[in-house]
Amino acid sequence: MNIVIIKYNAGNIQSVQYALERIGASAIVTDDPEAIASADKVIFPGVGEASTAMEYLRARQLDRLISGLQQPVLGICLGMQLMCAYSEENNTSCMGIFDETVRLFQPQPGGGEKVPQIGWNTIFNLKTKLFDAVTENSFCYFVHGYYASLGEHTIATTDYVLPYSSALHKQNFYGTQFHPEKSAGVGEQILKNFLEKI
């Protein structure tokens, strides 16, 4: 299987590579349009800030390339957020694959939640084959200050400050707000499902 990890200025690429190796898969890391377009599976990771990432992608027309892909695509963390319509982070127009808006967490006074959310939290209301053999309320690892609202594309929910989309799905596009590559056995199962069942 030809797996590509998209290389850009906000990718958490090494940890994703290592996670794939742990489940017996290997991936090419590239920003080459032909290599991305011809892959069997595409992973679009991300850590960082939305507007500079989108500027980088637009300058290389990678935003158009990603939006037009026909094979299964998995966006991770910022990668998923960039696949949404809009992010409040520096007023950023994103790719619009998912209709959801990405908003800044606004903790209530005295609520105890810190922004960004860093650490383990549960995922529930799980839908699609991405979560085969993953039990409700499994723990995954999160690092983010912005979240995608709940909507028609939500396939997993997490509660932090409020319920939000911890995973999205539309057609051949999937996204997780959590980091499957840092989520131990649960994350490995999700990556296996993406490679083997999607």
Strands (E), 77-160: 86-87, 92-93, 101-104, 117-123, 138-144, 146-148, 154-160
77 is catalytic: yes
The whole-angstrom separation of Cα 80 and Cα 50 is 11
CA dist list (Å): 170 to 74, 100, 143, 154, 191: 11, 11, 23, 9, 17
pLDDT for residue 192: 98
* Coil, helix or strand at residue 20: helix
Record the pTM.
Answer: 0.97
Q: For the chain, list residues with pLDDT below 70.
A: none
- Per-residue pLDDT, 9: 85
Q: What is the pLDDT of residue 190?
A: 98
Closest CA to 186 of 165, 167, 161: 167
Query: What is the domain range of residue 94?
Result: 3-197
Which is the catalytic residue, given 21, 55, 77, 89? 77
User: Of these residues, 55, 169, 181, 188, which one is catalytic?
Assistant: 181
Q: Under a CB-based contact definition with an 8 Å cutoff, are residues 36 and 5 in contact?
A: no
| C-beta pairs of 33-38 under 8 Å, 24+ apart in sequence | 33/61, 33/62, 33/65, 35/4, 36/4, 36/6, 36/62, 36/65, 36/66, 36/69, 37/65, 37/69, 38/2
Q: What is the three-class DSSP state of 103?
A: strand
Q: What is the pLDDT of residue 108?
A: 82
Catalytic site includes residue 169: no
∠185-17-179 over CA atoms, to 5°?
A: 50
pLDDT given for residue 94 in this prediction: 98
- In Å, what is the CA distance from 45 to each residue of 31, 56, 112, 116, 174? 13, 14, 29, 18, 12
* Residues facing 92 on adjacent strands: 87
CATH classification at residue 117: 3.40.50.880
pLDDT tens sequence across 33-77: 999 999 999 999 999 899 999 999 999 999 999 999 999 999 999
Structure tokens at 93: 């127009």
| Given the residues 94, 136, 179, 188, the one annotated as active site | 179
Q: How many domains does the chain have?
A: 1
CB 50 within 8 A of CB 90: yes
